[in-house]
Chains A and B, each alone.
Chain A
């Protein structure tokens, strides 16, 4: 157990954490604006991976075309689902319950469609970049993991730019703080709901695209990731995108250290223990705001 061993453990934790961060950020965005939990979120991750796999193997497309195709297709699917199912129920009586049932239904539906179309065999996507690096001879890291890190970093930077610096971002923040009154400022909140849902789905699809060479592609790959995404989203403070991102990375590192120190069976135990401890100390999550009333 030397320095490079620990370094590799942490790097591997950060890579998994990057995936949790992308999923958690999307769930947090949806929670913040639509005030609902999207139980079909992991399926956007799964679809991103499958569409990439199909484009690469069946379509024989180059990677740089297959990736945008996967991301955009998932956004289109998510947008259509949103308009057909979520929009008609939005803020109608029963809204406290309806998104849970609805998105659970969408989750089951999408998993079974994937199963019917692509079968139950686990599929593999080759690494985007078959290289191994030894920065300063301190530790080794694969090209794929470097791509995951930089890809996630770039996407999160872009997301933060959109939220903090653009008019769309201001509309999203206003809608999340007071959706009804935001309309009186001239904000088309229906469109904000659609756009945030689409952006969130795209984040999940990108996570699926980046991670699938490391794991494998199958109809159920979204479920564990989604559960972790929800944990991360609560940990970071519901509705706080920054919180979800930081909590995601922390969660990835904690899991990776647990796996090597006490064994892989303890991985999820550590994740939920972390959740329980943090919520015990800070019930509003790491970056959530206390609300009175």
Chain B
């Protein structure tokens, strides 16, 4: 293991506690040990000294008679030697008998060479300065106690006893006791650390468990519970932790539900929503926004990268703002999006984010345009004949056209034509507006389509002949009856047939056909071999006032409302209308009408 790992292992509360306790115990035991051994040594020392003193005292009593002043002789010395030999002394001790000149006169066997030497240590005793001298010296690695005791004779100091006692025995005893103490210390330290590990575990394990639990909780799992083992502080911590987890779980699920709701609201909104943070980075958005912008939005993307470059926003935004963005799609199509920027403000009016609401306003815009266009068209259509009428009337009034009756009648004819045109136009408009307002009173009744179609064909056959156009009528026999307003259907057919005739040159052919559809509808088709309509105009052909070639159409007396009315009528009857055309080849307009007795027509 590397040091960092070790450090990690020992940086746990458990090991810290163990180390602290063991060290405290060690220090305490050491202090106790020091005091104890001090005392022990003192005691041993004192008894050791006392023992030497006793020996010296008794020896002194015996020896002093052989050392009386004036009696020194070799014989005396020999006697003292004998006494030393016979005296019950500790054999490990060296004893010296020293005369008043501090000269060694007798020693125990081991130190014969000392005889005749001066022992300086004993001076203080010989001098009477000290009752006795105790010294401890170190010699050849061992400690010795030196004890000097005076020899007195008739109250006078006549010599000294000097003892040198090895103390290793004493120190060995102390060491033995020391060893026991060390063993006890080690044992108690081991025991204490073991107990501390257990104790620390009882404290740290629940904490570890709680920590684990917290980690799991942080990952979002609230289901596990900490086991509460006791009723103490740790138990309380565990139970309150469980309580906290419970609360969090509830709060989070509420939050989650809220979020889900919000999410679904967002997703299902018809408007696009983008929320950004203070710096304009996307934090929330819905799919609708992506659809509308036709772009994939990523989290944290800058809002300016998402919006078209032509409309950058400068942050921070403090007030609500609106902007319209026109997005060009392929093939002339376009989308207009209204974007509402709403800053999210704190109570302190500090911007913390931005909410963008995107609304697709293309349809409204289109309608608006159509309306404007319509008005413009109507006014234009009305002004044209009026201007013509006015100018002809002026010409008649001023120009003296009245003098030429032919010219005048022609003028008047034109004026009448124009007025008729206006009338027709207004009639058409009125009809349309009625249809729009669903104000038309349909007198629906069951009708034989064949009858109606033949009727229409009869009406136009003459016109066609006049114009040199072949007219065909092909009607299936088993057409079911339709439920419709006769006048309206006539109107519808008129509008279509008039167009076919109008836009088919001489030698062309116009066909009116009808057939029973499977779904019970009756399909009527008006086809010609006329000039046809360019593809791009096909979609808008049913719009009011829409004409392919305005000039030509007007020349032909068209207002551009015929097809619109046709469409309205067909749809008002629950049918549909659509046009197929090929430029220079011909056009076919088909419309369907519901039959009033479908069951009969079931094949």
Tell me if chain B binds chain A: no
